[in-house]
Chains A and B, each alone.
Chain A
Amino acid sequence: MAEMTLIEAIRTALDEALAQDERVFVTGEDIGRRGGVFRATQGLYEKYGARRVMDSPLTEMGIIGVGIGAALADLRPVCEIQFADFIHPAFNQIVGEAARMYYRSAGGWQVPLVIRVPYGAVPGGGLYHCQSVEALFAHIPGLKIVVPSTPRDARRLLHGAILDPNPVLFLETKYGYRQIRGEVPEQDAPLLPGPARIAREGGDLSLFAWGLMAFYAEIAAERAAQEDGLDVEVVDLRTLHPLDQESVLGSLRKTGKALVVHEDTRTMGFGAEIAALLVDEAFEYLDGPVKRLTAPDVPAAPFNRGMFDYFLPGPDDIFAAIRELAAY
């Protein structure tokens, strides 16, 4: 057992995957000698060489397109998009190509591709280093969307994503890279995309979140327990697509109240899908409105710190939302 930050766990998983499977290689911008702008690949270039830890030209579309080709040829590419904000030039390769390949070839071709994407708000990031893109991609059949919120999950889900024969978008909360710490067992089995995690059990209210917001949700839930005696169940979704519907519905049936928290903007955010699912499948269990706490509908977190803090839901905001819904 060792305590790690989120990014140390990701680096550990990459190191292990490179050691275990000769087909695994890592590519992206500045991931070689530089070790990645966030240091996710630090030391790996020295250890595995340029063939397996390969700086790409400056081309997001190329990183994904080449990754698709390599995956079709049965390698196991782990592609890094430096910031989620830069993924848009690769949108067509991800959405039009990787995600559709299996269906359009009637199962003839598979794309075992992992796309690692630092995402979400970070102080000082501004409009083009802060975007949350999960809802854009969660709409697309044929992609898996994974968002770990603990170091242990980051390590085992990254292994699981590499084992999965489908394209997996692996979203990493970059604001959480160094503030989220946790115990990581010495030996741990890979976790395939799919199951949610009940981060905290409770009977008064279900709080659904992922990534940084799942981390904050636990802090807020603890405060709600101490200050208000509320028993909040925190469901860390971990995989958005395919969604673990049973865990979501199971929790709501237990508590009767649902709060979704995401740092993505509000309209057509993934929270809307959770709300629709609950209304469709568990209407009679609802004891109140399905509430969403989200960022406002503006492009991304602004650069100015005060505006940034206003944009991004924090533990205090989540606590207030819990208190309000609990009182309904």
Chain B
Amino acid sequence: MPDETGPGPSQRLSDDTLLEMYRLMLLSRRLDERAWALHRQGRVQFHVSAMGHEAAQVGAAFAIKRGVDYVVPYYRDLAMAIALGCSALDFMLGLFARRDDPWSAGRQMPCHFSDRGRHIISGSSTVATQVPQAAGLAFAIHYRQRAGLVDPQDATQPRLALTSLGEGSTNQGEWHEGMNWAGVQGLPMVCLVENNRYAISVPQTEQMAIPSVATRAASYGAQGESVDGNDVLAVHAAMHRAAQRAYRGEGPSLVEAHTYRLTPHTSDDDDRSYRSREEVAAAGEVEPLVRYRQTLLERGLLTPSRVDELEARTRAQVDEAQRAAEAAPEPAPEEADSPVLAPLPEGLT
């Protein structure tokens, strides 16, 4: 099958799609940079960055049915959320913890994405907790298909659950227990491991005795693949293969995207104690946004003037989102005491 090897799937992406992927990576990057600036200016409390991970996240998102398939992301997935349809304003409202923050109404830290309409599950800050939940979502898909309640080919229904996390998080029991469940039941789950080589400060070599997390897939009867996570098209191709396996009912997959966190872990972290400046600078040389721009320039899909134009447009978008979010109302303090329990449905008392 042509999908099974090489970059086939990404070669079939339309020019418009290729440019859209660039535009979304760019938007995520510029939002991210603005958030760091706003934090340094003391205008926001906290930021957790996706910088460097944009190719892994956008490549993954474009390999599934965006807005339909379930996604259970983690806090570093800003570019993923943007690629799934969340807006610059959504991000800024969360960053400023405004009342109308659509992800948590100012209750969670920024970048704790949640969007029921887009099938993005709310996450916590505790790593790997989302993996058994993703297995449960994949189970529900499988359950409905086996019950004949939905057609497995119906692309208007969720057909897989994508979850993502860092390589360090794959040391957690929850990752193992979720992957094992998905494997033993052959569930349509795809696990994207964004391997940026550090779990905050502790390098992968002190986290596990293997160089590649993809090795672990074999333990679960899952398909494992490692890919250059700074190459959006390579990630897309690997994720496409994984997604197609899920759609065909062939069970879970693990895609490990090797990348690098270009910033400290969060705005509260200082990475100088654990990463040399030379190492960080070298990572900047192969970072995904510049690399993809180069690819598109070489393919003639972008020109220098088009690059500038996209930069200007993105900057205006970020400016406008920031302005709107800063002007947006704060939640009333007593909204801290909002209900913790869902109301009973109509007709139940």
> Interface residues, chain A, CB within 8 Å of chain B?
22, 25, 51, 56-57, 59, 61-62, 64-75, 77, 89, 92-93, 96-97, 99-110, 141-142, 144, 163-166, 192, 242
Contact = CB atoms under 8 A, between A and B. Distances in A.
Contacts of A164: 344
Contacts of B133: 65-66, 68-69, 72, 97
B137 interface: yes
B27 to A, nearest CB: 23
Contact of A57 (B149, B184, B339): B184
A5 to B, nearest CB: 28
A51 B140 contact: no
Interface string B330-349: 00000000111111110011
A77 B115 CA distance: 22
B55 interface: no
Contacts of A73: 70, 136-137, 140-141, 158
Given A69-B135, A70-B136, A141-B340, A22 B147 contact: yes
Given A66-B178, A69-B139, 19 more contacts: A51-B146, A57-B184, A62-B178, A62-B180, A65-B178, A66-B181, A73-B140, A74-B140, A92-B129, A92-B174, A102-B341, A104-B108, A105-B103, A106-B338, A107-B339, A109-B121, A109-B122, A165-B344, A242-B341
B342 A66 contact: no
Given A73-B141, A93-B129, A108-B116, A65 B136 contact: yes
Contacts of B102: 106, 108
Contact of B348 (A51, A64, A192): A192
Interface residues of B, number: 52
Given A104-B124, A106-B107, A51 B147 contact: yes
Given A61-B177, A92-B129, A141-B340, A101 B122 contact: yes
B160 to A, nearest CB: 12
A236 to B, nearest CB: 20
B121 A97 contact: no
Contact of B132 (A68, A103, A104, A163): A68
B181 A105 contact: no
Contact of B124 (A97, A102, A109, A192): A97
Interface of B: 70, 72, 101-105, 107-108, 112, 114-116, 121-122, 124, 126, 129, 131-141, 143, 146-147, 149, 158, 161, 173-174, 177-178, 180-181, 184, 338-345, 348-349
Nearest to A160: B348
A105 B184 contact: no
B122 A93 contact: no
A105 B104 contact: yes
A107 B178 CA distance: 25
Contacts of A93: 129, 132, 174
Contacts of B116: 105, 108-109
A166 B342 contact: yes
The 8 closest A-B pairs by CB, nearest first: A69-B136, A65-B132, A73-B140, A106-B105, A105-B122, A66-B136, A62-B177, A69-B133
A103 B177 contact: no
Nearest to B158: A73
B48 to A, nearest CB: 16
A70 B345 CA distance: 19
B239 to A, nearest CB: 20
Contacts of B115: 108
A192 B141 CA distance: 28
Contacts of B137: 69-70, 72-73
A269 to B, nearest CB: 22
B105 A69 contact: no
Contact of B342 (A56, A97, A107): A107
B181 A62 contact: yes
B126 A92 contact: yes
B330 to A, nearest CB: 14
B147 to A, nearest CB: 6
Nearest to B347: A163
**Centre residue among A51, A71, A92 by max chain B CB count within 10 A:** A92
A216 to B, nearest CB: 31
Nearest to A67: B136
Interface centre among B102, B146, B174 (most CB of A within 10 A): B174
B143 A61 contact: no
Nearest to A68: B133
A38 B257 CA distance: 46
A304 B248 CA distance: 55
Nearest to A106: B105
B114 A59 contact: no
A69 B342 contact: no
A309 B294 CA distance: 77
20 contacts: A57-B181, A59-B177, A61-B174, A62-B178, A62-B180, A66-B135, A67-B136, A69-B121, A72-B137, A72-B140, A73-B158, A97-B124, A102-B340, A102-B341, A102-B342, A103-B339, A105-B116, A110-B342, A142-B341, A242-B341
